[in-house]
Amino acid sequence: MRFLATLLLFAAAAPAAAAPPRTIGADELAAALLDRIEARQSIVGEARLDLDNPSLRMALPDGAAGIDVEGLTYDPRSGRVAAYVAPGGQGGDGMRVTGRVRHIVEVAVLARPMAPGETIGAGDVARLQLAADRLPQGAVTEAGELVGKTPRRTLRPSEPVRAADLQVPLMVKRNELVTLTVETPALLLTAQAKALDEGGKGATIRVVNSKSGRVLDAVVTGPGAAVVLVRN
């Protein structure tokens, strides 16, 4: 009984084990710095802070009150950020961090790989957020700019798509026979013709009348069909 009491007394007197330090990474540090920047000045639109060293880590000892930030600088023109960060309220060693604020845009992208000849549908479109300075020139941003089009080359998913990479699906191919319609207020004629060009709906192509050999301009109206442009 005396031995048990001694053990209990020793256990009560033993100091509690110190809690292991909590480690925060670059994303958490960047979020804390961005909060402080936005508290001082307005940033138009959505933004994120990318640290130059994405593998940065900081250990916060038990009892640390977040992080202390000193000497924070931000250049709105270049987006460059620099600061000195340390465990909050500890007075210990810290580190200098640098990075860049990037404005974020949301654009329409493909949800799956697509090849020439495939028509992009609404279900083939997804949304992607990325830094505005990483958006290629001429990239489409809205789903309506993708739906109904076909790729000129094989396109990968979740990547910005340039308008130049798309075209209206071909409805008439070069050298194929098309049904040619000539319509005026007074008459409606149809004839067979051979396409000299290829094009999608609404495209103007040249066709040659199979009987007369006359070359005409026509507008593609559907698969294998076109209407002659009648000049008054």
Phi, psi of 227 (to 5 degrees): -120, 135
Tokens describing residue 152: 């000129």
Residue 40 burial by Cβ neighbours in a 10 Å radius (0-12, 13-18, 19+): exposed
User: Does residue 11 surpass a pLDDT of 70?
Assistant: no
The C-alpha angle 224, 230, 231, rounded to 5 degrees, equals: 145
Give how far the C-alpha of residue 52 lies from the chain's centroid of Cα atoms, to the nearest Å: 21
Tokens describing residue 5: 């009491």
Domains defined along the chain, listed by start: 18-103 (no CATH), 104-167 (3.90.1210.10), 170-228 (2.30.30.760)
Rounded to whole angstroms, the Cα distance separating 122 from 144 reads 9
User: Does residue 19 surpass a pLDDT of 60?
Assistant: no
Tokens describing residue 42: 């307005």
Rounded to whole angstroms, the Cα distance separating 192 from 78 reads 62
Average pLDDT over residues 77-100: 85
Question: Helix, strand, coil % (nearest 5) of the chain?
Answer: 15, 40, 40
Structure-token match 């270049």, residue found: 78
- Identify the pLDDT of residue 21: 67
**Strand duo 177-183 + 225-228: pairing:** parallel
**pLDDT band at residue 8 under the 50/70/90 scheme:** very low
State pLDDT tens for residues 31-76: 999 999 998 888 877 899 999 999 988 888 776 777 888 899 999 8
* Beta bridge partner(s), residue 63: none
Query: What pTM, to 2 d.p., does this model score?
Result: 0.60
* Alpha helix (H) residue ranges in the chain: 2-13, 26-40
**Strand duo 215-222 + 125-131: pairing:** unpaired
Rounded to whole angstroms, the Cα distance separating 67 from 58 reads 9
Residue 94 burial by Cβ neighbours in a 10 Å radius (0-12, 13-18, 19+): middle
Above pLDDT 70, what percent of the chain? 88
